[in-house]
Amino acid sequence: MPTIPQFTPPPVPAAAPLTLNHLLIDSLKGMRIAMLTSTTASYGRLSSRPMALQEIDQQSDLWFFTDRSLSWVANLLHHPWVNLSFSTLAPDTYVSIAGCADLVLDPLRTRLFWRDEHLAWYPNGPDDPHLALLRVICVHAETWIDGRHQVLRP
């Protein structure tokens, strides 16, 4: 299994995340699935995969479950920058989030997010040895809602 990357997020002004947080939560209402784009280790190629959003916390960090044995997760150690894309047609809403990703092993938070529907991917439940949390620390976000573009920055 890959080692868990030690990641230090870029500095963010202390007062800004609350405003960003409210705007993100508002923009992402009803959207649970994101396409997460990351850089592969070979030649800097981009690769995307669907991810189910578990939570947006008060610091505007977005949380997902992932399998920590996957090669793209190991690549985050060297290439932590990712992009998340969310969209829905009713209303016409698109959200793009750039941030840094890191792997988190937190059994308490894992149990908090756990639902029986996750058994399809993690048959051993919340104690599955491959299950980990992926945190994306939001650095920059953009929204397009009914044709109106807005940049959200901490």
DSSP letters, 77-106, are TT--EEEEEEEETTTTEEEEEEEEEEEE--
CATH code 1.25.60.10 for 16-152: no
Stretches in the chain below the pLDDT threshold 70: 1-20, 154
Query: What is the pTM assigned to this prediction?
Result: 0.83
Where are the domains positioned within the chain? Answer: 16-152
Residue 63, pLDDT score: 97
Give 6-42 pLDDT, tens digit per residue.
Answer: 555 555 444 444 456 778 888 888 899 999 999 987 7
Give 35-47 pLDDT, tens digit per residue.
Answer: 999 998 777 789 9
Residue 17, pLDDT score: 43
Beta-carbon contacts of 33 under 8 Å, excluding residues fewer than 6 positions away, are: 50, 51, 52, 53, 86
